[in-house]
Amino acid sequence: MNSPDLILRNARIATLDPQQPEASAVAIGGGRFLAVGDDDEVMRLSGAATHVIDGRGRRVIPGLIDSHIHVIRGGLNYNLELRWDGLPSLADAMRRLKEQVARTPAPQWVRVVGGFTAHQFAEKRLPTLEELNAVAPDTPVFILHLYDRALLNRAALRAAGYDRNTADPPGGRIERDANGEPTGLLLAAPNALLLYSALARGPKLPYDYQLNSTRHFMREMNRLGVTSVIDAGGGFQNYPDDYQVVQDLHAQGQLTLRIAYNLFTQKPKEELADFTRWSAMVAPGQGDAMYRHNGAGEMLVFSAADFEDFRQPRPDLPPGMEPDLEAVVRLLVEKRWPFRMHATYDETIGRLWTCSRRSTATCRSTDCTGSSTMPKPSATATSNAWRNWAAASRFSIAWRTRANTSSSALDMKRRNARRRSSACSRWACRSARARTPRAWRAMIRGMRSTGWSRARRWAGDASIRRPICSTAQPR
């Protein structure tokens, strides 16, 4: 064995191995663990070039995997943001805002993009528009609170071009004064597109600054223990243009996160065109262990978006949702693209599930798998793949329900999940485990009781693993 590049010793290392749950030292070489054990046995592997770190008795855990984050988009703008996370009072927040205004050059905006809530402040309120205008009369200020509202001062309204002639977009509302002029309060009712589009009107950083910003964002993730992520795409995140920065950092060996990225449709009524174009440019799994393509999502079609603003009534999806979604799902299945969908309410989940089943059934009858560049599995394997894909997709979608779901509805979902789990593969288990330990336990119980061996045999067919995995983990 070659000498390791790195040895970490004198630490309390959680291994997650039931046979050896804790160790005091590890040896690492070529990006792999070479040895795990006590200090004496691991230090015997040390060579002249080995870097040794003394853990000083501290706890060490495996890197965390964030299965839903917007790190690529967030990295492009991270250096532009003022953070209010954890501040105990609105007075502290406004003091930081004033300091940021003083050092922000024109034409840049000061942006507080989430990460806080009024309930964390001693004052139990958000800043008023008058307070924002007083602290920043000339510098644009944009403050996003959750997904329900944004506050813009007068300078930001001018910079964004909002005036009395600006119409309210569908599902959004621009608050106005008695004269019909925008006050600076933008409300998602419940569509948050108004909030995102307002933020997108601000100036972007130059390319070199975006490189720096993305590196800072990744290091902040590392500081919190995150080492791997699944990037869920996002609005105003166009492929391939807005992915150039992270691709260049990867080419330069400067990524400090493993990234598996999904592609998110960008234009209503042009979703099928988006995925048709992208499926000719990139394939799932394309890339390497640090950066690779993961499939489609979290938005497949705009008509299937139900948002998550519980201050507003639940939106009803339009009748045209099913034809829109079925066309995209059929294409994705033909191209053997995994996909994930962001759904909030039971009513949405039910319609999405029914639509997905209908789309995949159509593909089964028309042999959609023939268009794939991957090896075509046997007829038996294809049948099993569709059955397992359906179970995995349903399980993944179902567990995205939010806290407003009743306990009885959740109990029903758990019972149904256990019934379906006999047809589910280990890929689906990974997906469920990434979402919630309770879902993972329910999945395992069902597989042990009714179908573990069948799922294990199916999972061994490498030719059909990847296309059915709804949220493949970064490797």
Query: Strands 182-188 and 149-152: what pairing?
Result: antiparallel
List the alpha helices (DSSP H) in 32-89.
39-43, 71-77
Domains located in the chain, CATH noted = 6-62 (2.30.40.10), 71-200 (3.10.310.70), 265-468 (no CATH)
Length of the chain: 475
Digit-coded pLDDT (tens) for 241-277: 999 999 999 999 999 999 999 999 999 999 999 999 9
Model confidence at 454: pLDDT above 70: no
DSSP 425-464: -HHHHHHHHHH-HHHHHHHHHHIIIIIHHHHHHHHT-GGG
For the ranges 140-144, 195-199, 375-379, the lowest mean pLDDT is seen at 375-379
Distance CA 333, CA 295 (A): 11
Digit-coded pLDDT (tens) for 317-366: 999 999 999 999 999 999 999 999 999 999 999 999 999 888 877 776 66
Task: Kindly provide the residue ranges of all beta strands, DSSP E only, lying in 264-389, ordered along the sequence.
Answer: 291-296
Model confidence at 408: pLDDT above 90: no
pLDDT for 464 equals: 29
Distance CA 353, CA 431 (A): 17
Model confidence at 413: pLDDT above 50: no
Phi, psi torsion values for 407, nearest 5 degrees: -65, -35
Distance CA 37, CA 348 (A): 49
Model confidence at 75: pLDDT above 70: yes
Three-state secondary structure call for residue 169: coil
Confidence of residue 414 (pLDDT cuts 50, 70, 90): very low
Sequence-distant (6+) residues with CB within 8 A of 280 are none
Encoded amino acid at 372, one letter: S
Model confidence at 382: pLDDT above 50: no
pLDDT for 358 equals: 87
Digit-coded pLDDT (tens) for 84-114: 999 999 999 999 999 999 999 999 999 999 9
Model confidence at 400: pLDDT above 80: no
**What is the distance between the terminal CA atoms of the chain, rounded to a whole angstrom?**
24
